[in-house]
Amino acid sequence: MRLSALLSAARPRLPPGYRHGMWPPDSMAARLRNPPGQRRRKVFVEPVAKDDWKVFKGDTVQVLAGKDAGKQGLVTQVVQARNWVVVEGLNTHCRYVNRTAKYSGTYITSEAPLLLSQICLVDPEDRKPTEVEWRYTEEGERVRVSLRSGRILPVPPQPRQDGIVPEQWIGEWDGSEGWGDVAGDTGGQHCPLTCTDGPKDTSEEDALAKTYRPSLKTFEEEIMDAMGIVETRRPKKSYWY
């Protein structure tokens, strides 16, 4: 699993006409909707520099326009390429999923993305919408500062790219225990193989154990002593200028 994660992290560049959606770029849906050689009409997006991006996953934002104008919600997804922000439970519409020939499908509510111009960050104490700017603190840390009140908006802790939550990671897991405790504990990962240590994983205690004994011998000399290798030959002297 980790090797595929490494390979996907080193993914190639997206083609220039790629149409971004709410899906991750290396998923089945992306491949279906962006077959190689497809050329679609270009989507024009207000250019925002990567350093200037202010809205992150886990932020509270207020919706300014649309059906749910005036309501606040948590950001669940951000698509920088299209200036999109998906807020949980707001700007929703209902649709059918998992339709088959016989079954009409499950009717679910799904959120539509909102543009940056329809969104406003919210002051953490006031809980009122504010304009936000990137500024530097006395220590030199780059933080988001609300222009109205001057309070710092801390960036919420971002989830890992591979979706693993280290707090929910289980250490050694025997196959003998049932799946009941695993499925309830972890959020997205249900199979214990994807959220437990495998046979090639060092446990946390072993990894943090300090076993270094300082000595004046070099690494090679210590190994020769340990293995009982005796080397009396010496290399011939050579000179370089």
Partner 1 sequence: MGLLTQLVRGLVRGADRVSPFTSKRGSRSHNKGRGAKKLGVLTRNKKFILVKEMVPEFVVPDLTGFKLRPYVSYRAPEGSEPPVTAKQLFDQVVAPRIEKDVKDGTFDPSNLEKYGFEPTQEGKLFQLFPKNYVR
- Closer CB to partner 1, 93 or 160, in the complex: 160
Determine how many CB atoms are found less than 10 A away from the CB of residue 39. Answer: 9
- Closer CB to partner 1, 13 or 50, in the complex: 13
- Closer CB to partner 1, 93 or 237, in the complex: 237
171 binds partner 1 (CB under 8 A): yes
* Residues 131-170, interacting with partner 1 (CB under 8 A): 164, 166, 169
Q: How far apart are CA 71 and CA 166, in angstroms?
A: 32
3-state secondary structure of 72: strand
* Residues 30-89, interacting with partner 1 (CB under 8 A): 36-37
Among 176, 227, 236, 241, binds partner 1 (CB under 8 A): 227
228 binds partner 1 (CB under 8 A): no
The tokens for 156 are: 């919420």
Site size with partner 1, rule: CB under 8 A = 36
- Closer CB to partner 1, 143 or 170, in the complex: 170
Q: How far apart are CA 16 and CA 36, in angstroms?
A: 11
Q: How far apart are CA 62 and CA 70, in angstroms?
A: 6
Task: Give me the least distance between CB of 199 and partner 1, in Å please.
Answer: 8
Task: Give me the least distance between CB of 164 and partner 1, in Å please.
Answer: 6
Task: Give me the least distance between CB of 6 and partner 1, in Å please.
Answer: 11
Range 62-69 contact pairs with CB under 8 angstroms and sequence separation of 24 or more: 62/119, 62/120, 62/121, 62/122, 62/129, 63/87, 63/90, 63/91, 63/114, 63/118, 63/119, 64/118, 64/119, 64/120, 64/129, 65/117, 65/118, 66/91, 66/114, 66/118, 67/91, 68/92
* Residues 192-221, interacting with partner 1 (CB under 8 A): 197-204, 206-209, 214-216, 218-221
Determine how many CB atoms are found less than 10 A away from the CB of residue 146. Answer: 21
Full 3-state SS string of 126-140: CCCECCEEEEECCCC
184 binds partner 1 (CB under 8 A): no
Give me the residues that bind partner 1 (CB under 8 A), please.
2, 12-13, 15, 36-37, 164, 166, 169, 171, 197-204, 206-209, 214-216, 218-221, 223, 226-227, 229, 231, 234-235
